[in-house]
Structure 1
Amino acid sequence: MDDVSRETPSAPDVARRVFSSERLPLAEAYAARLATDGVVRGLIGPREAPRLWDRHLLNCAVLAELLPSGASVVDIGSGAGLPGLVVAIARPDLKVTLVEPLLRRTTFLQEVVDELSLEHVEVVRGRADSLHGTRVFDVVTSRAVAPLDRLLDWSMPLVAPEGALVAMKGSSVEEEVASSRSALERWGCADPEVRVLGGEVLTSTTVALRVVWADPAQVSWPLAPVAGRRPSARPRRKPRRPQRRQNP
C-alpha cells in the first residue's frame, strides 16, 4: 500500500479552474482513494495512477458543462465513478445515481460517497436495464460503456422527455454516429450533437455526444412495473386523444 500511495498525484493548478475551492478537497480525496484502494482492488490499472488528474478526473469534470442546474443524473456502468462521481463532486446541485453491476465496484463507490458525505449521490447495484420502466432522469451519462447503437438501448429508456443522453466518446465519434443511424431513427432521436469540452483549460479535451428525443411530446413510459410482467424497455408513443364530435 505504501508503494501505491507514493504514486498518488497532487492536484495540478488547472484543477482549481475546473473545481471550485470548496469542492477541490473532495476531488483530491477521491483521487487519493483511486490511486490507492482503486489500484489495489483492480478498479483502475497501476499505470493510470500517475495520470489520474489529466486523463480521468479533469476530463470527466468538464462534462458538467452540459448538465442543467438541479438536474437528476444517472451514470450507467459507473465503474470506479468515472464520470458520475466526478460530476457529483464538481456539482453539488445535481442529484446523481451511480449504476454499476459489480459488487466490488459498488462497494468502493458507496465507501467514497459515505466518506465524502455526498448526500446527493445514490449508488445502485445493477444493470441499466434494471431501471427501465421504473425511473427516468434528466441526463444519462456514461464513459466507454458500449458502442452507440447498444448505448441507445440501455440509455434512452432512462431519458426523460426533455432530457438527454450525454456520453463521453473518442475521436471516432462521427463514424460511430454514422453507423448508428438506423438505431437513432428506431428510437426516435434527434440528430446527435458532438461537443468538445475543456478546450480553454485542458491539454487533452473531452469529446461528448449529446442525444435528445426528436419529439419529446410523443414519448412516455410505464413509470411503474406491471405485476407479473417485466416493464417495457422501450418508450411508447403517447396515444392521441380522440376528438370530440361537434353537434351540427
Structure 2
Amino acid sequence: MNLEFEQEPGEAALVFGDQIDKARAYTARLAQDSETFGLLGPRELPRIWSRHVINSALLVELVPNESLVADVGSGAGLPGIPMAIAKPKSHFTLIEPMERRATWLQTVVDDLGLRNVDVIRARAEEVQRTDFDIVTARAVAALDKLLKLLTPLTRGSQHRTILALKGSRAPEEISEARPRLQRLGFGEPEIITLGLGITSETATVVRIILQ
C-alpha cells in the first residue's frame, strides 16, 4: 500500500457506523488500485479518506431510505460506493463508460458484498432506465451539461432529484444553467454544505428538485 495513504480519521466511524469495515476495505482497494486503473492521482492518496471517501458518504443525509440512486460517471466509485456503504437501505447503480473502470467497480462491489449496488458500463445517454429517484455526479461536468445528461434518468420517478457535488463555483454554475433549469421545470437549486462540525472537509452539494 502507498506509504502516503491517509490514516483513518476519527469521524469515519461516525459517518459509516456499523458499515465501517466495508468502508475500510473499499478505501484500501482504492488506494491500492488507483495507479493501475487510473482512479485517483498519487497526490490524492494523502487525503483519500477525508476528501474522497467520507466526503462522498456525506451525501446520504439527502437520500431517503428505499431510494433508487444512479451515480453517473462513477469512475472510482465516487460518490456511489461510499454512499451505498453508508446507506444500505437504498439501491445504487454505478454508471461508468470506461471498460477497465467498470470492471474494477464490479470486482470491488462483488468482493465487498454490496448487494445494494449494480454496475452498468455505459454513457449516461445510453442508459434506458428512467426510474431513478436521485442522480448523483462528482467531477463529471459543469452543471448545465450535467442537467442534460442526468435529467432523462429521472423521468419515470415521482421524486426527480439531482445531487451534484460541486466546489466554490457552484453559484456561477447555477447562474449559467438557469435557462436549462427553467426549460426542464426544476425548482430553484439549493447549495447545501454537509459535514459542518463533523468532518475536516465538508461537501458542497447542489440539490435540484423537479417542481
Q: Same fold (TM over 0.5)?
A: yes
2:20 corresponds in structure 1 to 24
Q: Give the gaps of 5 or more residues in structure 2.
A: none
2:120 corresponds in structure 1 to 124
Q: Give, in whole Å, the separation in 1 of the partners of 2:26 and 2:122.
A: 23
1:61 corresponds in structure 2 to 57
2:109 corresponds to 1:107 = no
Q: In structure 2, what residue type is equivalent to 1:149?
A: D
Greater than 4 Å deviation, 4+ residue runs: none
2:149 corresponds to 1:154 = yes
Residue 196 (structure 2) aligned to one of 192, 195, 199: 199
Q: In structure 1, what residue type is equivalent to 2:173?
A: E
- Identity, % of aligned positions: 44
Report which of the two structures shows the higher radius of gyration computed on alpha carbons: 1
2:178 corresponds to 1:181 = yes
Q: Give, in whole Å, the separation in 1 of the partners of 2:36 and 2:5.
A: 13
Judging by fraction of residues, say which structure has more helix.
Answer: 2
Instruction: Give the deviation of 1:70 after TM superposition.
Output: 1.2
| Contact kept in structure 1, 2:71 and 2:137, CA below 8 Å | yes
2:194 corresponds to 1:190 = no
Q: In structure 1, what residue type is equivalent to 2:89?
A: D
Instruction: Give the deviation of 1:203 after TM superposition.
Output: 2.0
Q: Give, in whole Å, the separation in 2 of the partners of 1:207 and 1:58.
A: 13
Instruction: Give the deviation of 1:175 after TM superposition.
Output: 1.1
Q: Give, in whole Å, the separation in 1 of the partners of 2:185 and 2:160.
A: 13
| Contact kept in structure 1, 2:134 and 2:159, CA below 8 Å | no
> How many residues of Structure 1 are paired with residues of Structure 2 in the alignment?
209
Measured against aligned partners, the alpha-carbon deviations of 1:125-178 in whole angstroms (never above 9, x if no partner) come to 00111124x332110011011111110011111122322001101111111111
Q: In structure 1, what residue type is equivalent to 2:79?
A: P
2:157 corresponds to 1:141 = no
RMSD, aligned CA: 1.2
Q: In structure 1, what residue type is equivalent to 2:66?
A: G
Q: TM-score, with normalisation over the residues of structure 1?
A: 0.81
1:6 corresponds in structure 2 to 3
Measured against aligned partners, the alpha-carbon deviations of 1:53-109 in whole angstroms (never above 9, x if no partner) come to 111111111011000111010000000000001100111111100000001111110
Q: In structure 1, what residue type is equivalent to 2:197?
A: E
2:166 corresponds in structure 1 to 169
2:84 corresponds to 1:88 = yes
Secondary structure at 1:27 match in 2: helix
